Structure 1
Amino acid sequence: MIAQVVPVLFAFGANLGDRGETIRSAQRALAATPGIERFEASALRETIALTASGPDPDAPRYVNGVATARTTLDPHALLDAMQAIETTHGRVRDIRWGDRTLDIDLVLFGGRVISDDRLQVPHPRAHERDFVLAPWLDLDPDAVLMGHGRVADLLARIGDTTVPLSHDDHANAGSKVVPGRSGGLDAQG
């Protein structure tokens, strides 16, 4: 039996430690995961921390990015791989929307809608988060968020408060983290 290959979109965020390097390390680990191929990462962007109470200018700022890939993993196996990478990078799940060393969300899994106690796809708040939409638009100017429309229109509607991460390697924006790699989530915060 041949496994189905499904396009996916990941979102990454970190506001503790070496934020950019943590995200790039997690991206390399995810790209090297058996069952994931054609991994392509956006440039990284920085934004104010978003907490359960709203934007917090006093909290450490976040670095965010997105990546597209194709996978043969089922959604929950992919989620398990994402959470293992988060744990390896020091992720602690004690405060919802709290400071974190790494957050990886599964925004899209092909055209599937998934809603269970572990996973919601499409990500239920991606359409209102400039820190997801802006790097996604940088990566794919024609992107469409299932159920919400064109990413460019969504970002225009909510506004873009993100700024390019000044020390991010923009030459690598949109590059494949592990070219040609093939093989075999965090509850959405």
Structure 2
Amino acid sequence: MQAFIGLGSNLDRPAQRLTSALQAIARLPGLTLQHHSRLYASAPIGPQDQPDYVNAVAEVHSSLTPHALLHSLQALELAAGRQRLRHWGERTLDLDILLFGNQCIDTTDLQIPHPQMIQRAFVLHPLLEIAPHCHLPDGTTLGSFLSQVTEQALLPLAELDRDALIERENPHRTD
């Protein structure tokens, strides 16, 4: 099943954290990293007394259930030292399932599509970079929401060698 994962960090070398997280995602059993966006810097949502964030989006193919994927991503967050100190506060690593096929899930621990994704430039731009025709389960194209986030500034960071990372972590991948 095709899924998209949002990545974010604003503590302890966030660009390096995201690069390491992408490598860790590529090694998760039941997942194949297909593509990932470049990294983007953005101001924090919520408390402004924290550093800017670095964000990206990854496309994966998953044989896991959505909840199993959630638990695997939460384990990666914990391994990166994630602590939940305050709502929308600083993080060493934040991994969110944005979309999982065309599934809609609304449980106490998981909401898919991610409920705030259409309101955040740091999600929409990287997601549309790697999947320009991506849409919500109801068929609404994600590009139709871009005009609602134009005031949210994004700064693309230096390009990662995406193909080399994907090849190094998935040497037997077939597209």
Q: TM-score, normalised by structure 1?
A: 0.82
Q: More deviation in 146-155 or 122-131?
A: 146-155
Decide whether aligned partners of structure 1 residues 10 and 152 sit closer, same or farther in structure 2, where only a CA change above 3 A counts: same
Alpha-carbon shift at residue 180 of structure 1 (Å): 5.2
Does 2:171 align with 1:176?
no
Report how far residue 151 of structure 1 moved.
2.3
Paired position in structure 2 for 1:131 = 122
Quote how far apart the aligned CAs of 1:96 are.
1.5
Match of 1:36 in 2: 31
Which of 100, 107, 117 pairs up with 2:98?
107
Quick one: distance in 2 between partners of 1:47 and 1:173? 24
Shift of the alpha carbon at 1:140?
2.0
The 3-state SS of whatever aligns with 2:61 is strand
Look up the match of 1:23.
18
Please name the residue that 2:5 is paired with: 10
Aligned-partner residue type, residue 86 of structure 2: I
Distance 1:104 1:143 in 2: 19
Does 2:156 correspond to 1:164?
A: yes
- Residue 84 of structure 1: aligned partner: 75
Residue aligning to 1:73? 64
Conserved in 1, the CA contact under 8 Å of 2:50 and 2:89? Answer: no
Indicate conservation of the 8 Å contact 2:7/2:18, yes or no: yes
Residues 38 and 181 in structure 1, CA contact (< 8 A), matched pair in contact too: no
User: Residue type of the partner of 1:83?
Assistant: Q
Aligned amino acid, residue 126 of structure 1: M
Contact 1:32 1:181 in 2 (8 A): no
Using the TM superposition, give the Cα deviation of residue 173 of structure 1 relative to its aligned residue in structure 2, in angstroms.
7.2
Deviations 1:39-64 (A, max 9, x none): 3111000000111x6xx2x4200000
Q: Higher RCO, 1 or 2 (CA under 8 Å, sep at least 6)?
A: 1
Offset at residue 157 of structure 1 (A): 2.9
Equivalenced residue count is 171
| Greater CA drift, 86-95 or 155-164 | 155-164
Percent sequence identity over aligned pairs = 33
Give the Cα–Cα distance (whole angstroms) in 2 for the partners of residues 149 and 163 of structure 1.
26
AA matched with 1:43: R
Matched, 1:62 2:53: yes
2:44 pairs, out of 30, 44, 49, with 49
Give me the CA root mean square deviation.
2.1
Kindly indicate which of the two structures has a greater share of residues assigned to helix. 2
Matches of 1:61 and 1:139, distance apart in 2: 23
